Amino acid sequence: MSHTAHIRSHRKPRRSASKIAMRAGVAGGVLGTLAVTGASASSANAAEPVTQTLELPTLTADLAAQVAQSADATQQAAANYQLQAERDAAAAKAAKQAKADLAEAKKKAEAEAEKQKAEEAARKAAAERASRNAARTTLTASVSADSSSGAGAGASASVSTGSSTATGSVAAVISFVKAQVGKAYVSGATGPSAYDCSGLVQTAFKQVGVSLPRVSQDQSTAGTQVSLSNLQPGDILYWGGAGSAYHVAVYVGDGMFVGAQNPSTGVVERPLSYDPPSGAVRVL
């Protein structure tokens, strides 16, 4: 016996034709079943897109509606912003115009006030000129009457009018102011080398113990108001209104006055016709 007689062969045994045929039939049946099942599955899968296709238009319409609604809202918001901007611009323009109108009205009111003030000043000046012209006529007549009766006698009678004390005080005032003729005019000065108009009058009456206010406005109301047609030596003459006078001097008789006129003339003695006063007061 050969030493390999009990060793099995490694070759696969041959299959019989009948087994092969049977297995082929089984395989064919399985494949056929699979084919039918696949066809059924394919048919089922083919039907599903129909359902999805029916649902897609609904989703697309909703989305379009949302987009359209959002676009409308955006457009409305833009229109609102534009309308608000136009309103703000109109309000700013109206405020600017109102400010300009107010400034123009204020300017016109100021111009009207200045015009009325100028007219009032002109009327006042005209009234003062008329008063001076009337006073000039009266004084001219008075001076003429004094001249015809004798200036010296008239002056003596005027100076001696009243008590001896009054006569002495009046004489002292007249003597003092005449002694200052030729001295300089300096605003605010009260002597002894220079005076302004009210400073001369105040200092003159101070010599006889009469205390007068410092400025011409107050001196024009310091005594008793007297008519220009009834002047006496020692009366205080004023120019302008009583309480608002801008110049004063001392009447010295014979139709003459002494006053610190201005910086160019200084203290001078002048006739009343040179510059007729507006009124007079008497303190002695």
Rounded Cα gap, residues 280 and 21, in angstroms: 167
- Using CA atoms, how far residue 143 sits from 95, 194, 257, 273, in Å, is 71, 30, 13, 10
Distance CA 238, CA 235 (A): 10
The answer to whether 280 touches 231, Cβ cutoff 8 Å, is: yes
Q: Which CATH topology does 119-282 take?
A: endopeptidase fold (from Nostoc punctiforme) (3.90.1720)
% of the chain at pLDDT higher than 70:
63
pLDDT digits (tens, 9 = 90+) for 74-85: 888 888 888 898
Which pLDDT score, from 0 to 100, does residue 273 have? 94
Each domain of the chain, given as residue ranges in start order, spans: 119-282
List, in sequence order, every residue forming a beta bridge with 147; answer none if it has no partner: none
Lowest mean pLDDT among 6-15, 96-105, 182-191, 254-263: 6-15
DSSP symbols for 207-247: TTT----SSHHHHTTSSEEE-GGG--TTPEEEESSTTS-SE
pLDDT value of residue 55: 54
172-198 b/e (C-beta count within 10 Å ≥ 16 → b): bbbebbeebeebebbeebbbeebbbbb
Tell which residue, 263, 256, 267, has the closest CA to residue 275.
256
Q: Do 224 and 235 touch, CB atoms closer than 8 A?
A: no
pLDDT surpassing 60 at residue 247:
yes
Strands of 224-226's sheet, edge to edge? 224-226, 279-282, 236-239, 247-253, 256-262, 266-271
Mean pLDDT of the region 227-255: 96
pLDDT-derived band at 181 (thresholds 50, 70, 90) equals very high
What is the pLDDT, as a whole number, of residue 60?
65
Give the model's confidence band at 121: pLDDT under 50 very low, under 70 low, under 90 confident, else very high. Answer: confident
Average predicted confidence (pLDDT) for the chain: 76
Say how many Å lie between the first and final Cα of the chain, rounded: 196
Whether residue 260 is predicted with pLDDT greater than 70 in this model: the reply is: yes
